[in-house]
Structure 1
Amino acid sequence: MTTAAPLPTPAHELSNAAPASNSQSEDVNFQGLPIPRGLITASLSFYEAPKDGSKPYNYVEKQPEGVPQRNFGQEWHEVPIDDLRGQEDRFTLNNNAFEVLSNVPSGEYDFTSDEKIKSIYYPEVEKLLLANVPGANRVLLFDYTIRRSSPGADREPVVRVHIDQTPSSAAARVKYHLPEEAEQLLQGRYRIINVWRPLNGPVMAHPLAVADSATVNDEDLVGVEHRYPDRNGETASVRFNPSQKWYYWSGMKNEDRLLLKCFDSDEIVGQWGRVPHTAFVHPNTPEGAIGRESIEIRALVFG
């Protein structure tokens, strides 16, 4: 059943102070507020086709004058979302297109300097992927996005179900970033994996929901032209289907990592090689909860 969108707490009303320490209880944050947990039902935004039947598109940056940023709409549906906390071992990249890792240290704390992110955090992520993705023998990190629930933030949490890549755009990524080696690399296994983590955990507002890829039909996915200033790519929007199973990892801490597989060329497990995901408004988010800040690193993984 399609329902009206919930009314989230406006970003400017959310507290954005950094946690003073990690000594708080597992069930409250540094403000003493309860961390939302458990199986819940929440509204998620799914794809609605353009009214005129045209191919859907989305401008990544400012669109041309007089042109809408995107030409497709959204449908809000109430969806059960189960908590991964306590059942983390049930899910793997090969079977479900997402996986979780705990207690991952990092030498980067500020995430305000592009130079430090690339010199300190990038090598950590590369090492993490090589150690935890079966068969991986080479990793190329090609970009990152920081999202903050604060006024004037360059990027805010995306409250729309989507997948960052499609099969055609994944191959185009290999050709774009490694043009001299692309022909050979495309003959072997290649994957695109996002590494997602909070910067001011535990996550209280706008947690990330993921769909078990094994429950998502290809017919649910719609390619959307992703328009950059200098080129076009493609992402996927997602139609609502009641057979989809949704999850979130409650109270994600700064030491937690969520691996999201956007594409997998493997002929056997590749059919589960894409994970729909979205930020959402948790119905039990306490008033005054800290606004979520996060970073996602996108990687080409070969082997």
Structure 2
Amino acid sequence: MSLTERIPHRHRGTAAVLAVLLGATALQSTAALATTLFERLGPTGVSGLRMLTAAVFLLAVARPAFWRFTRRDWASVVSYGIVASLMNVFFYLAVDRIPLGVTVTIEYLGAFAVALIGVRRVRDGLFAVGALAGVVMIAGPTVGSTDLLGYLFAACAAASLAGYTLLAGKIGTGTPASSGIKGLSVSIAIGAILLSPATAGAIPHMVPSDWALVACIGVVGLALAFSCDALAVTLTSPAAAGVFFSLDPVVSSLVGILLLGQLLPPLAYVGIGLIVLSGAAVTWRANRSAAQLAAHTASLRAVDAVEARRG
């Protein structure tokens, strides 16, 4: 039985938001560490090394039987690997030019767009808009950079995050050979191969102590973070996970305070509260919907069983 199947339907929304929080903390804290390597190795070089170390770790843990992948499995893992590598590169290119909090905020707009796709009722749309308003409150007072190229890279990261959010669920629901961490490990390996020219260019400039930092960035900031994100999408839906990803700007703000000593304007903290409330509302609705769906499915099966006996 997979991890997803072990989690009761009524708790899947809560489990998903906890997974997103863990992944966001891992991602944002290691992103702050990664910036210390940009001057010598470059953003693309650090990105490639990050993908490489994450791929080695995930392949060693998952040991996927990739020769058993179906054509559909390969389509999913290759697409996910391409999107993940693009998001990785654009994110670091943006962080190298504009503040981390602003980059994360702009990137979240990709997940927000996915959240809007799943809107079925006005109330759901209000939750998504509330999360977006919170993001604007966080970003607005902090935007002081005029580096347009940095904003362009952040926008490309946002577009990649939209694709990443949509494809993450397919990684968790493929055939047994490619489901879960097995498919994820192959996807990250594909991304590492795509970024191998940048990785090869960065390695000659590394010192021995860099490898420990790169390993931390890859294993914690990518392997763990991406695994948590994929789990969240599998437990709920791309739309629900898209709203949960609004917690990323919150986490990046807290990381800035704790690790970098960066205090935010009062309006930004109001935005944090609004995002948390929106995320909590979506979590509750996800839990309720999953429980109702499970109950409805169970009742239909019971009716079918009774009719089968009578027949």
TM over 0.5: no
* TM-score, scaled relative to structure 2: 0.25
Which structure's residues are more often strand, by fraction? 1
Higher relative contact order (CA 8 A, sep 6+): 2
